[in-house]
Structure 1
Amino acid sequence: MGVKGFVEGGIASIVAGCSTHPLDLIKVRMQLQGESPAPAPALRPALAVPGSAVAMPHPPPAPRRPGPIAVGARILRAEGPAGLFSGVSATVLRQTLYSTTRMGLYDVLKTKWSGGEGGAAAAALPLHKKITAGLIAGAVGAAVGNPADVAMVRMQADGRLPAAERRNYQGVGDAIGRMVRQEGVGSLWRGSALTVNRAMIVTASQLATYDQAKEAILGKGLLPDGLPTHVAASFAAGLVAAAASNPVDVVKTRVMNMKVEKGAPPPYAGALDCAMKTVRAEGPMALYKGFIPTVSRQGPFTVVLFVTLEQVRSLLKDF
């Protein structure tokens, strides 16, 4: 069961990651909105106040930030259809390292702790043990996959920069190689604490919710064990995972994407510093930037992930 769980989880994760990559790209671009302070806008012509010689300037209203559809349209206009798949090679590597590890390890822990061989015995595991298995599996998977995660964020964010400032990575191998040469091996694990925290939250909420929702649907006889049950349970899992992980995801994206100039202090001293600067500059709801595309991506991703996983399990059940 051990190796098989890793193979099944890896195949399902790669299919889900590639099919929802454009939504993830839009989410990253939205999370980076407002990060760099814009130059001070020119004031409107002064308006004289009756009875006073002092003119009172009217600052223009703050520009409205584009939503996910507008961001997607902007990417299409500026970078073409291929722009929606910027960093997809890093997504494949990330899913191969991170998701294969977390899915397989979760399966191993769940089966071991249930004392069964998977299936109904593992599904009947108490919720707190499912959550614990998810926390452990997510942490290990994130530590393994962090280099690909950093490369993916940078490749997805590149198109929003002026042409002269872009990194122009040719692929995930080029991205990782240049990071090592220019910034040291440590740069591959930049934001790793955030990646681990996010992965623990996502894995615990996503996998435990799916198992628990599926168990509840089948236990109450609402639906048979088939596609409708898998879709319903996975959609619930995606919604819970998105709500739980979005604040950590925003901070992770910004820390991973920051440019550190030689001899200059980094824009953020760490995760807490990034979170505090973001909240001070943009308000608490900035931590939920990109939430709509996060849900829009996490929902389909989770549905594709678990539906594919169930199909792969069915195909490999005799192996």
Structure 2
Amino acid sequence: MYPLDVVKTRMQLQVGTTGEEAYTSMLDCFKKIIKNEGVGRLYRGISAPILMEAPKRATKFAANDEWGKFYKNLFGIPTMTQPLSILTGATAGATESFVVVPFELVKIRLQDKSSKYKGMGDVVSHIVKKEGPLALYNGLEATLFRHISWNAGYFGVIFKVREMLPKAETKSGKITNDLISGSIGGTVGTMLNTPFDVVKSRIQNTTRVPGVIPKYNWTLPSVVTVFREEGFGALYKGFLPKVLRLGPGGGILLVVFTGVMDFFRTIA
């Protein structure tokens, strides 16, 4: 699904939709990348998310589980509720953000249409040399907004949809319920966090120059800037490729996590 992420980023970084090279839709973006840059460009920057995926997903679910236990003890609630699911999801998203920021920054810099970097190592060395080591965490605030909102929506919706679905009596029924609830959760999470993702992409793609305040700097002012200059729709640039990846991806993620955890419980 990585090419969808490349297309999403390209559309988010694009200001305006005029000109021969402008992307007018998801399919148009695919066509122009393949025609002008080659199929391989759809996989540019994939090394960063490959390295990021395992620690990211592990942190997401481990943090959600541990924060859930913490909040239940803190508030004296014996069982999980939907408000508690939203709270634990949001806190897990914040925890996850600290793991993913450097990887996301490298990925965005490589996915950009004008990127001249040779690879992941070149991006890291350039950023450290030109902008300083702390620049690897540029966009942390926007990443917090993005992951808190997505995980709050994801885990909150999963809890509610599971509650509404008929109780699964078989293993296949459980998988189906997880796939449905995870997919709906992933879709809702994407609806909530796309505006933050748009500004995160722009913030992380900005090369910092000492003494110069970048146009896209902090999350909420950047959201206002995009809205004023490009309209509300610009805050949802790249939504279609993003939701096509994270909607079903959220279902697959939940099914795999639940299946793996059940397996380890049987052999523990």
In 2, are the aligned partners of 1:260 and 1:267 still within 8 Å (CA)? no
In 1, are the aligned partners of 2:168 and 2:174 still within 8 Å (CA)? no
Q: 1:183 aligns with which of 131, 142, 147?
A: 131
User: Where does residue 170 of structure 1 map in the other structure?
Assistant: 119
Please give the per-residue CA displacement for 1:7-36, whole angstroms capped at 9, x wherever unaligned.
Answer: xxxxxxxxxxxxx2211111111111226x
Give how far 1:64 is off: 7.6
Structure 1 spans left out of the alignment, 5+ residues: 1-19, 42-61, 116-120
Structure 2 spans left out of the alignment, 5+ residues: none
How do 1:250-261 and structure 2 match up within 5 A? Answer: 250-261=198-209
Task: Describe the shift of the 1:299–1:269 C-alpha distance in structure 2 as closer, same or farther (beyond 3 A).
Answer: closer
Q: Is 1:130–2:79 an aligned residue pair?
A: no
- Identity over aligned pairs, percent: 26
Structure with max Cα Rg: 1
Give how far 1:201 is off: 0.7
User: Where does residue 144 of structure 2 map in the other structure?
Assistant: 196
Task: Describe the shift of the 1:201–1:269 C-alpha distance in structure 2 as closer, same or farther (beyond 3 A).
Answer: closer
User: Where does residue 4 of structure 1 map in the other structure?
Assistant: none
Instruction: Report the AA paired with residue 226 of structure 2.
Output: T
Partners of 1:194 and 1:169 in 2: how far apart? Answer: 26
Q: Is 1:29–2:20 an aligned residue pair?
A: no
Partners of 1:271 and 1:226 in 2: how far apart? Answer: 39
How do 1:1-319 and structure 2 match up within 5 A? Answer: 20-34=1-15, 65-111=23-69, 113=71, 124-157=79-112, 160-161=113-114, 166-171=115-120, 173-219=121-167, 225-261=173-209, 264-317=212-265, 318-319=267-268
Partners of 2:48 and 2:168 in 1: how far apart? Answer: 41
Give how far 1:253 is off: 0.8
Give how far 1:209 is off: 1.6
Give how far 1:79 is off: 2.9
Q: Helix, strand or coil for the counterpart of 1:260?
A: coil
Partners of 1:64 and 1:75 in 2: how far apart? Answer: 11
Give how far 1:65 is off: 4.5
Task: Describe the shift of the 1:80–1:314 C-alpha distance in structure 2 as closer, same or farther (beyond 3 A).
Answer: farther
- What root-mean-square deviation, in Å, do the aligned CA atoms of Structure 1 and Structure 2 show? 2.8
In 2, are the aligned partners of 1:147 and 1:189 still within 8 Å (CA)? yes
Give how far 1:290 is off: 1.2
Task: Describe the shift of the 1:186–1:64 C-alpha distance in structure 2 as closer, same or farther (beyond 3 A).
Answer: closer
Report how many aligned residue pairs link the two structures: 263
Give how far 1:105 is off: 0.8
Partners of 2:26 and 2:139 in 1: how far apart? Answer: 25
In 2, are the aligned partners of 1:218 and 1:225 still within 8 Å (CA)? no
Give how far 1:81 is off: 2.5
Partners of 1:297 and 1:284 in 2: how far apart? Answer: 22
Partners of 1:109 and 1:262 in 2: how far apart? Answer: 39
Task: Describe the shift of the 1:167–1:100 C-alpha distance in structure 2 as closer, same or farther (beyond 3 A).
Answer: farther
Partners of 1:214 and 1:272 in 2: how far apart? Answer: 33
In 2, are the aligned partners of 1:242 and 1:294 still within 8 Å (CA)? yes
Partners of 1:190 and 1:68 in 2: how far apart? Answer: 27
Task: Describe the shift of the 1:66–1:95 C-alpha distance in structure 2 as closer, same or farther (beyond 3 A).
Answer: same
More helix by percentage: 2
In 1, are the aligned partners of 2:168 and 2:177 still within 8 Å (CA)? no
In 2, are the aligned partners of 1:134 and 1:204 still within 8 Å (CA)? yes
Instruction: Report the AA paired with residue 66 of structure 2.
Output: V
